[in-house]
Structure 1
Amino acid sequence: MLRKNRPAFSIGEEPLGKIRGHDIELYLNVERPYPPMLGRAPYPENLDTRKEIEKNINELLEMDVIRKIGQHEIVEITIPVLITWNDGKSRLCGDLRALSNYTKADRYPIPRISHSLDKLAKAKIYNQDGLYEKFPPEWG
């Protein structure tokens, strides 16, 4: 299983793995043009912090964690915020509070039982006796 899902795990120098083929669907309850609250200007930052944010964004682009949207699209979903700890390390985060006001609630974020049962309909089920017949225990 680990070999099959190898791209999902970090290997070597890269701090993050990659999962392909699983898109996140985010439904908004507003249409374009988006409200100005979603496309507001970034927080005022000093020059050093701005450079650190750009460096973090470029690293995420190089690792294929994020991607650029079309240059003619104006969709700022989040504002980058740099969180700095006392030891000098920093982490890039996104301020998604404005987006939360415009997202539709996902009523079923995990699979429903009926969907899971449909998938299990073709599964083979063995009871304990059937397993002993197929795979007898070795007692010595």
Structure 2
Amino acid sequence: MPQNKKEIQSFSGFSGYYRKHIKYFASIARTLYKLCDKDTAFEMTVYRVKALESLRQALSTAPLLLITDFKLPFKLYIDASGDGLGATLHQAQIINDKSVEGPICFISRQIKPTEARYRAIQIEFLFLVCALEKLN
């Protein structure tokens, strides 16, 4: 269990490196990133411990990502929740003579305070544009 902000920052940096492998990374890590703010007192609340454990679990069981085949079509799935945005880029590929659809990467980020006032459909369209820009 992290004992101070420096240890939280270290874990956040490590887990952030693997964010493409973790579905809803931004939503899960949000509370830990807020703990790194200089104006926030270090306190490991139950909510923060759960976030830390969720990230540890996700890092140890991250899904196998497919290797991108640019000759095949892609599918982009987008979801907006209360405080985060998530997208998964999928592709159907033939593996061992079977058609398998699987993830190529995960994209996520937090909803900004001004975006929180948008309607759900507006947020999803906004993130569609953001996800496509990130994938470009």
- TM bin (shorter chain): under 0.3
The TM-score normalised by the length of structure 2 is: 0.19
The TM-score normalised by the length of structure 1 is: 0.19
Specify which structure has the bigger relative contact order, considering alpha-carbon pairs within 8 angstroms and separated by 6 or more residues: 2
Higher-strand-fraction structure: 2
Higher-helix-fraction structure: 2
